[in-house]
Amino acid sequence: PPEAGHDFIRDIVRRDVEAGRTREIVTRFPPEPNGYLHIGHAKSICLNFGVAAEFGGRCNLRFDDTNPTKEEQEYIDGIQRDVRWLGFDWGDSVRYASDYFEQLYAWAIELIRAGKAYVDDQTQEEMRAARGTLTEPGTASPWRDRPVDENLDLLARMRAGEFPNGARVLRARIDMASGNINLRDPVLYRILHASHPRTGTDWCIYPSYDFAHGQSDAIEGVTHSLCTLEFADHRPLYEWLLANLPVPSEPHQYEFARLNLTHTLLSKRVLTELVRGGHVNGWDDPRMPTLAGYRRRGVPPEAIRDFIQRIGVARADSMVDVAMFEAAIRDALNASAPRRMAVLNPLKIVIENYPEGETEELEAVNNPSDPAAGSRPVTFGREIYVERDDFMEDPPKKFFRLSPGREVRLRYAYFVTCKEVVKDADGEVVELRCTYDPETRGGNTPPDGRKVKATLHWVSAVDSVPAEVRLFEPLFTDPEPDAGSFATGLNPDSRHVLQECRLEPAIVEANSDAPVQFERLGYFVRDPDSTADQPVFNRTVGLRDSWAK
């Protein structure tokens, strides 16, 4: 197994193993199927599956499907695909909290019999008002001392569907004066006449998160139940339920800090609203912080795993700069992505001293950091395209790229000098007339030792392929967007679609979904919107030194 590193969770697990407290480490990743997984979930996935693998144990994928009004089969399928894509495998350990509904119900009856649960007829508002505050104790429900038989009868009738939604709940009978509000008689069951993706209409009462979670852990023999900090206050309830029920094992809950990323909101509620409100084009929009979105954007799963490892696991909440994630993506892609040439905003160049009707093949290196990647031929001819931004008619001092009279290198090709600027009737530059120096073939310094200060990428007019390229900016301009008013913080310019791009043919001929580096522009991947006539590419991430600046 991979070697376990050190963080407070792994240190706890290691101590439990060494002390012989746990024979087999069992963890679980417990998503609620009410949306797609985001990169915050990836932290939990890497932790739960990682710990299990490192300590020779197992990790269950458990759907926390206790709220049928928000849950869908589409999400169940999407979550499995995304966990697998991220590189983890649960073998035959896929579980559903709904598998335990019958057992949970039986345990609810036991709690009633032991005088530890009761049916409450109060309305939601009444219960909320009676719950008290941090400084004031709660008030007991008038139904708190209901006789056991009456509770048993009412719960059975709740299950039989005799009452409408919200008419009654089953509550644990713990302590209305507890300093921990979660212990003030928390709800165990509520009435919900709704069809469930797996149990259909078998049930019209559903267990609460708190009642389902710890008991599901115990049924599965989970030893270390790892969750995020907001559940720390629920731990006493988690432990109370385990202590008061005849559960088959004794799991322990540990809390770690959620992942927060700058310029990003990691909340399924917000992400759902982005999708429903049409602010993005679906859960897999390349701007979304979902695993499906990153996949479509071209982020390799190993970059996500590497990033999660770099940030580590801690007990205190923090904010991670999204630049750290981008650095991990670049590191992964830099090693593997072949280099190609593409022009996003083409400006035509005619090389006047290059023979008309002729072309030649030049050799371009596939990956300078990987000699084994070899090289490929690129076509050069009298007409080529360069990036519009690489030309300025009236350049400032520090601009060394093309301008009238200026000589630059075309990568793998020749030195060219701009002789004339051709404009249309509106004064817009439409073409540059240049000359080339045949003695610089391959982009090499000529015999006279002349130097140039800029090297430009280019494509040939003869065989380059027209394409659409999509560039992305963060969805939120504010580094720490407010989840409450996220709609007002949306970046209106998060997506740029360039439709006149031209790609070196090798990019399209590869017919591959593997990421590519477009020289000087960043890393790109083919989008599924591509058609035979119109390839579409997404920019995954730019290069470290942004060429446009």
Is 43 labeled as ligand-binding?
A: yes
Is 254 labeled as ligand-binding?
A: no
Q: Phi, psi (5° rounding) for residue 74?
A: -55, -40
* Stated length of the chain: 549
CA distance 51 to 453: 52
Query: Minimum distance from CB of 317 to ligand ATP (Å)?
Result: 10
DSSP assigned state of 548: T
Listed in sequence order, the DSSP H helices in 224-348 are 235-244, 268-276, 291-297, 301-311, 322-336
Which is closer to ligand ATP, CB of 88 or CB of 537? 88
Query: Minimum distance from CB of 83 to ligand ATP (Å)?
Result: 11
Which is closer to ligand ATP, CB of 314 or CB of 548? 314
- HSE-CB at 230 with a 13 A cutoff on CA atoms is 3
Query: Residue 250 binds which entry of Mg ion, ligand ATP, none, with Cβ cut-offs from 5 to 8 Å by kind?
Result: none
Of 107, 106, 98, nearest in space to 200 by CA: 98
Query: Residue 272 binds which entry of Mg ion, ligand ATP, none, with Cβ cut-offs from 5 to 8 Å by kind?
Result: none
3-state secondary structure of 60: strand
Please report, as ranges, the residues that interact with ligand ATP according to CB under 6 A. Answer: 30-32, 40-41, 43-44, 64, 227-228, 258-259, 266-269
Q: Given 58, 171, 235, 268, which residue is catalytic?
A: 268
User: Quick check: 286 and 297 in contact, CB under 8 A?
Assistant: yes
| CB within 8 Å of 320: residues ≥ 6 apart | 259, 260, 261, 262, 311
258 flagged as catalytic: yes
Beta bridge partner(s), residue 524: 516, 539
CA distance 436 to 351: 7
Query: Minimum distance from CB of 421 to Mg ion (Å)?
Result: 58
268 flagged as catalytic: yes
Which is closer to ligand ATP, CB of 215 or CB of 517? 215
Query: Minimum distance from CB of 229 to ligand ATP (Å)?
Result: 9
User: Quick check: 15 and 67 in contact, CB under 8 A?
Assistant: no
Which is closer to Mg ion, CB of 271 or CB of 313? 271
Query: Residue 382 binds which entry of Mg ion, ligand ATP, none, with Cβ cut-offs from 5 to 8 Å by kind?
Result: none
- HSE-CB at 321 with a 13 A cutoff on CA atoms is 4
**For Mg ion, which residue has the nearest CB?**
32
Q: Phi, psi (5° rounding) for residue 347?
A: -125, 125
Which is closer to Mg ion, CB of 32 or CB of 478? 32
Which is closer to ligand ATP, CB of 483 or CB of 510? 483
Is 317 labeled as ligand-binding?
A: no
In this structure, are strands 516-518 and 429-437 parallel, antiparallel, or unpaired?
unpaired
Query: Minimum distance from CB of 258 to ligand ATP (Å)?
Result: 4
Query: Minimum distance from CB of 157 to ligand ATP (Å)?
Result: 31
Which is closer to ligand ATP, CB of 30 or CB of 515? 30
Is 258 labeled as ligand-binding?
A: yes
Which is closer to ligand ATP, CB of 44 or CB of 216? 44
Query: Minimum distance from CB of 222 to Mg ion (Å)?
Result: 16
User: Quick check: 283 and 271 in contact, CB under 8 A?
Assistant: yes
Query: Residue 228 binds which entry of Mg ion, ligand ATP, none, with Cβ cut-offs from 5 to 8 Å by kind?
Result: ligand ATP
Is 137 labeled as ligand-binding?
A: no
| CB within 8 Å of 515: residues ≥ 6 apart | 298, 300, 333, 336, 337, 523, 524, 525, 540
User: Quick check: 459 and 341 in contact, CB under 8 A?
Assistant: yes
Which is closer to Mg ion, CB of 63 or CB of 118? 63
Q: How many residues sit close enough to Mg ion to count as binding (CB under 5 A)?
A: 1
Q: Phi, psi (5° rounding) for residue 415?
A: -80, 135
Query: Minimum distance from CB of 30 to ligand ATP (Å)?
Result: 5
Beta bridge partner(s), residue 365: 375
User: Quick check: 345 and 498 in contact, CB under 8 A?
Assistant: yes
Query: Minimum distance from CB of 386 to ligand ATP (Å)?
Result: 43
Q: What is the C-alpha radius of gyration for the chain, rounded to an integer number of angstroms?
A: 31
- Give residue 537's region: left, alpha or beta (phi > 0; psi -120 to 50): beta
Residues 9 to 48 in contact with Mg ion, rule: CB under 5 A = 32
Q: Given 32, 54, 383, 473, which residue is catalytic?
A: 32
Query: Residue 469 binds which entry of ligand ATP, Mg ion, none, with Cβ cut-offs from 5 to 8 Å by kind?
Result: none
Residue with the two structure tokens 């982009």: 443
**For ligand ATP, which residue has the nearest CB?**
40
Of 538, 536, 516, nearest in space to 333 by CA: 516
113 flagged as catalytic: no
Q: Given 131, 258, 419, 441, which residue is catalytic?
A: 258
The DSSP element (H or E) to which 13 belongs, if any, is helix 8-18
Is 496 labeled as ligand-binding?
A: no
Burial (0-12, 13-18, 19+ Cβ within 10 Å), 23: exposed
Residue with the two structure tokens 């360069």: 386
Is 40 labeled as ligand-binding?
A: yes
Question: Which residues are annotated binding-site positions for ATP?
Answer: 32-34, 38-44, 228, 258-259, 266-268
Question: Which residues are annotated binding-site positions?
Answer: 32-34, 38-44, 64, 209, 228, 258-259, 266-268
Give catalytic residue positions.
32, 258, 268
Question: Which residues are annotated binding-site positions for L-glutamine?
Answer: 64, 209
Binding stretches for Mg ion (CB under 5 A)? 32
